[in-house]
Amino acid sequence: MKVPFLDIKAQYSSIKEEVNLAVLNILENTSFILGSSVKNFENEFAAAHNINYCYGLSNGTAGNHLVLWALGIKPGDEVIIPANTFIATAWGATLCGATPVFVDCTPDTYNIDPSKIEAAISSKTKAIVAVHLYGQPADLDSLKVIADKHNLFLVEDAAQAHFAEYKGKKIGGIGIASSFSFYPGKNLGAYGEAGAAATNDPQLAAKFKMIREHGASDKYYHKVYGHNYRMEGIQGAVLGVKLKYLQEWTEKRRNAAKKYFELLKDIKSIQLPIEADYSKHVYHLFVINVKAGKRDELQRFLDKNEISTGLHYPVPLHLQECFAHLDYKKGDMPCSENISENGLSLPIYPEISDNQLQYVSEIIHQYFK
């Protein structure tokens, strides 16, 4: 049985007519950039997260950048970034000319470890970026206490966590601002590049809107430095259709995770993900920790049996070549290094069938027998 890591085609098939119509409509009225499809999506997406302002962007990386830029992060500043995340989280800081300062993750959620942040704070620190990694919210209350105490901005990178909840509240509006990605493989995926930035602060929202469009509030009158970070109309249309199904798809992801928990709980050689008591996890990824150095061998065994898996992420940020000048070394972030060496992401998506989940479990059992 084939189990792909992701099945974007299956999802498209389930909404094909509706999406095709929405895209054709954009072609007919030539609203290729921003326009009503994007505006409507922004409003619906903001409402779904109980956030006041949301702006559609060209991708999630633009969101990482725009949020810190609008907050005034500049050269000489430092920004706290988890070592265990996708590189784009750090680009937010570097594109502002600031220096990312990496902090290790916890050994159970793999999100940034609040107890390790204060040691990384200096007089230059301006912000903490909390990533809701794999679809599980970071420990936002603990982070907020630290941010408030040191007068830092708390920003959320919610690229993997649409609809996730922290203590019963949707993420994205808990920090001062947040960014989302709609990369096709994300829980809410566009059919191309797309992202968003959100905030409850009206002044910050006005800056988001200007920076997204060349620093202008009125066309050709440029108040501040900006960029072209606008979302395309076709992506707004696709996302508008897909947003209606996201709740259902999220529950399906959670059900798939529940089945994995049941099917795999007897295997002593793997540590399953945990859902923290404060969180509603949306399982963008289902990352197991494979003990005794068996990760790569298990991955090859699964691959031989037509099961595709992923590594998130094989190199923690502090050990990436592009950050060599920051002088981190192996051993600095033991938990991030552990998950980079032993983490294995199993296939998970709303369309994965019970038979496929069963099969993945059987092959993993076979490997450990």
Ligand X SMILES: *Cc1c(COP(=O)(O)O)cnc(C)c1O
289 near ligand X, rule: CB under 6 A: no
Stretch that binds ligand X, among 3-11, 19-27, 55-63, 94-102 (CB under 6 A): 55-63
64 near ligand X, rule: CB under 6 A: yes
Which of 44, 95, 103, 39 has its CA nearest to residue 67?
95
88 near ligand X, rule: CB under 6 A: yes
Q: Which one-letter amino acid corresponds to residue 367? A: Y
60 near ligand X, rule: CB under 6 A: yes
Nearer to ligand X, 56 or 226 (CB): 56
Stretch that binds ligand X, among 4-12, 36-44, 84-92, 342-350 (CB under 6 A): 84-92
Applying the rule CB under 6 A, the residues between 156 and 175 that interact with ligand X are 157, 159-160
Give, in order, the Cα–Cα distances in Å from 18 to each of 77, 188, 215, 247, 363.
46, 16, 35, 17, 37
Nearer to ligand X, 131 or 205 (CB): 131
CA angle 121, 124, 166 (to 5 degrees): 50
CA atoms within 13 A on the CB side of 159: 26
Contact with ligand X (CB under 6 A) among 195, 226, 233, 240: 195
Instruction: Provide the b/e sequence for 291-330 (b: ≥16 CB within 10 Å).
Output: eeebbeebbebbeebebebbbbbeebbbbbeebeeeebee
| φ, ψ at 260 (rounded to 5°) | -55, -45
Applying the rule CB under 6 A, the residues between 106 and 145 that interact with ligand X are 131
Q: Quote the least distance from Cβ 306 to ligand X, whole Å.
A: 26
Is residue 34 within 8 A of residue 230, CB to CB? The reply is yes
Stretch that binds ligand X, among 56-64, 65-73, 256-264, 286-294 (CB under 6 A): 56-64
345 near ligand X, rule: CB under 6 A: no
183 near ligand X, rule: CB under 6 A: yes
Is residue 133 within 8 A of residue 88, CB to CB? The reply is no
Nearer to ligand X, 67 or 364 (CB): 67
3-state secondary structure at position 72: coil
Nearer to ligand X, 183 or 260 (CB): 183
Q: How far apart are CA 279 and CA 140, in angstroms?
A: 10
Q: Quote the least distance from Cβ 185 to ligand X, whole Å.
A: 8
Is residue 148 within 8 A of residue 175, CB to CB? The reply is no
Chain positions contacting ligand X, by CB under 6 A? 59-61, 64, 85-86, 88-89, 131, 157, 159-160, 181, 183, 195
